[in-house]
Amino acid sequence: MGRSRRTGPAEGGQADRREESKLALARLGAWLEERGLKHSRQRDVIVETFFAMGGHVPVDGLVARVRTLDARVSVATVYRTLKLLSECGIAVPRRFEDGQTRYEPATDRSHHDHLICTGCGRIVEFENERIEELQQRVARSHGFEVDSHKLELYGRCDRCRRAEAGTKDARS
Amino acid sequence: MGRSRRTGPAEGGQADRREESKLALARLGAWLEERGLKHSRQRDVIVETFFAMGGHVPVDGLVARVRTLDARVSVATVYRTLKLLSECGIAVPRRFEDGQTRYEPATDRSHHDHLICTGCGRIVEFENERIEELQQRVARSHGFEVDSHKLELYGRCDRCRRAEAGTKDARS
DNA sequence: CCCATGTTGATAACGATTCTCAATATCACG
DNA sequence: CGTGATATTGAGAATCGTTATCAACATGGG
């Protein structure tokens, strides 16, 4: 039932990330050349940093991190690069309830949805065939042909719930 | 399979709306008094207009409409009033992909999700028990206790698909 | 009717994102 | 290795939706 793969920015092998980063850079390069665009130092740094961070990266976080490597990259460039990445299928933008866009590395794996902890902000990915099927069915029954969807579950993760219980016990 | 009730701002009885509006106004009044707040002319106008519009009302649309009745109501007041309404459970804010908040009249009926046409913007509400159950299950299997969720299906409604097919035929 | 207190309108401020544009980097070509 | 055409950059202005500020103004209990 809903196998998950990466449970947060903190997990996932570093080696994998570097690998992903390389592939992405190559793919971006090809994509740029195809349309007569050029590549640049800052795009490379941004892509590498993005993959090094993994998980669901908020733009300002990425900017901050990138600037530890090259203090003069502008926010505009980061935004532009991220848009490029999503255009060439390397990254996917996500907008959760907090109103800021986060990007996650695109995987060739199938679509997934998110479980978001309102306590610690942890984001867990999951996929569930049955839910997708039901969505299709509901949509069709209303005459719709779905081409994308957004499913986010907000709640508290086990860690946060335990922590709460702890403080409650301590208090009483 | 997913009974829907109101399929858009254009549908739903006027009489029902006026009824809803009255109830809401009364409820708001009580709520205000409970906490020593005052009521005002503009709040009344806003609430009435809100219910007259029905459906999923974007704030700027509401402002525009309200101003046909009283040209000097400020956006700030509309925002403030809408926030009040959601605090006292009369309206519910929704944020879809277009990035602007819309409000819908809160119903005592159970939670529902949305089907959004990317062609004409039509919004259809639906509910589906099975999906909710599955969500709970998936969440639990990851140690989460869900307390809210967001499910939006984006696609083209039958009308828009037919329209597209039409233009395609005409062209070829 | 009065006054303490809540509400309003105008506008400034905000955060996230995009745009503008002059300065600069890249790259294909000679 | 230049050189020029053109893509990219950085800084800051602009935009959008929304919230905060604050003086002027309602509201309603006494």
Q: Map out the domains of chain B as residue ranges.
A: 14-105, 113-171
Residue of A20, A147, A133, A171 lying closest to A85 (CA atoms): A20
Q: Spell out which residues of chain A touch residue B128, defining contact as CB-CB under 8 Å.
A: 134, 138
* Confidence grade of residue B65 (pLDDT, cut at 50, 70, 90): very high
Given this model, what pLDDT does residue A33 score?
Answer: 94
Q: Closest nucleotide to residue B73 (Cα to C1')?
A: C9
- Least confident range of A12-16, A76-80, A120-124, B46-50: A12-16
**Res. B76: pLDDT tops 60:** yes
Q: CB of A146 within 8 Å of any CB in chain B?
A: yes
* Confidence grade of residue A7 (pLDDT, cut at 50, 70, 90): very low
Given this model, what pLDDT does residue A95 score?
Answer: 94
Given this model, what pLDDT does residue B8 score?
Answer: 46
Let me know: does A91 contact A49? Beta carbons within 8 Å: no
- Record: contact A1-B137, CB cut-off 8 A: yes
Helix then strand then coil, in percent of chain B rounded to 5, is 50, 20, 30
Given this model, what pLDDT does residue B166 score?
Answer: 73
Nucleotides of C under 7 A from a protein CB: 5-11, 15-20, 25-28
* Confidence grade of residue B6 (pLDDT, cut at 50, 70, 90): very low
Residue with the larger pLDDT of the pair A4 and B118: B118
* Confidence grade of residue A168 (pLDDT, cut at 50, 70, 90): low
Tell me which CATH homologous superfamily contains domain B113-171.
Ferric-uptake regulator, C-terminal dimerisarion domain (3.30.1490.190)
Mean per-residue pLDDT, B154-166: 91
Interface list for A 95-134 with B (CB within 8 A): 95, 97, 99, 115, 117-118, 124, 126, 128, 130-131, 134
User: Beta partners for A113?
Assistant: A126
Please count the other Cβ atoms lying within 10 Å of the Cβ belonging to residue B162: 11
Q: Which of residues 33-92 of B touch strand D (CB under 7 A)?
A: 33, 38-41, 59-60, 75-76, 79, 83
- Record: contact B148-A155, CB cut-off 8 A: yes
Let me know: does A32 contact A39? Beta carbons within 8 Å: yes
Q: Which of A117, A150, A161 sits opposite B150 (nearest CB)?
A: A150
Let me know: does A42 contact A82? Beta carbons within 8 Å: no
Percent of chain B with pLDDT over 70: 88
Mean per-residue pLDDT, B45-74: 96
The DSSP string of A20-75 is HHHHHHHHHHHHHHHTT----HHHHHHHHHHHHH-SSEEHHHHHHHHHHH-TT--H
- Record: contact A142-B156, CB cut-off 8 A: no
Given this model, what pLDDT does residue A101 score?
Answer: 96
- Record: contact A151-B151, CB cut-off 8 A: yes
Given this model, what pLDDT does residue A103 score?
Answer: 96
**Res. B10: pLDDT tops 50:** no
**Res. A5: pLDDT tops 70:** no
Mean per-residue pLDDT, A86-110: 89
Domain A14-105, CATH: 1.10.10.10
The DSSP string of A126-153 is E--HHHHHHHHHHHHHTT-EEEEEEEEE
Q: Give the mean pLDDT of chain B.
A: 89
Amino acid at B6: R
Q: Give the mean pLDDT of chain A.
A: 89
CA-based nearest residue in chain A for residue B93: A97
Residue of B69, B84, B71 lying closest to B39 (CA atoms): B84
**Residues 6 or more apart from A37 whose CB is under 8 A from it?**
none
Mean per-residue pLDDT, A139-157: 96
Mean per-residue pLDDT, A118-128: 92
* Spatial distance between the Cα atoms of B121 and B123, rounded to a whole number of angstroms: 6
**Res. A2: pLDDT tops 50:** no
* Spatial distance between the Cα atoms of A109 and A135, rounded to a whole number of angstroms: 20
Mean per-residue pLDDT, B89-117: 90
pLDDT digits (tens, 9 = 90+) for A54-72: 889 999 999 999 999 999 9
* Spatial distance between the Cα atoms of A63 and A79, rounded to a whole number of angstroms: 9
Residue positions counted in chain A? 172
